[in-house]
Amino acid sequence: MNDLVARARAFAEKAHGAQQRKYEKLPYITHLDRVVELLSSHGFDAPHLLAAAYLHDTLEDTSTTLADIIAEFGPEVGELVYWLSDLEQGRRKTRKLMSAMRLSRAPIEAKVIKLADLTDNTPSIVEHDPDFAKVYIAEKATILEHMVRVDGSKLTDLPLYKLAKGA
């Protein structure tokens, strides 16, 4: 594992601490490992991209700040984490729409991380919370619809996009 990626994994594991996946009761790092594995298995193995994948939930779920990420991992990783962080305020429906609008403008590298994140999250939600799954699937469709507005076929032609859409 590349040094940058290893440092990001260690940072994320420490930042998330005792947090567990909601339905699986596994350490949170399990989700991040799976996202990175999905990306790697689809040929997305640039160290800054994989580092950002490990860090993509730290701003939302921990006391970590964007300044912390940039200081530790540089602006390239920090920018991807920024695009991936749902920090919007307000009611859930509004927050998720704002998130989709933000992701529509994100660099394609951030979008592929989001695809891997959606792909990993969906099965667990569908299996363990069918009622919420209806809401989540609709939100995911909105996010995917917005993400392709700028990148179109560059995104929709990716096997990872098809996997995220079908997950």
Helix, coil or strand: residue 113: helix
Residue type for 165, please? Answer: K
Decide: 35 and 52 in contact? Cβ < 8 Å.
no
**CA separation for the pair 154, 105 (Å, rounded):** 14
Q: What residues are labeled active site?
A: 60-61
Q: Choose among 77, 97, 75, 73: nearest CA to 86.
A: 97
Residue type for 53, please? Answer: A
Decide: 51 and 57 in contact? Cβ < 8 Å.
no
Identify any residues that bridge with 27 across adjacent strands, giving them in sequence order. 20
Please report which residue ranges of 17-129 form alpha helices under DSSP H.
Answer: 29-41, 47-55, 58-61, 66-73, 75-84, 92-105, 108-128
Helix, coil or strand: residue 27: strand
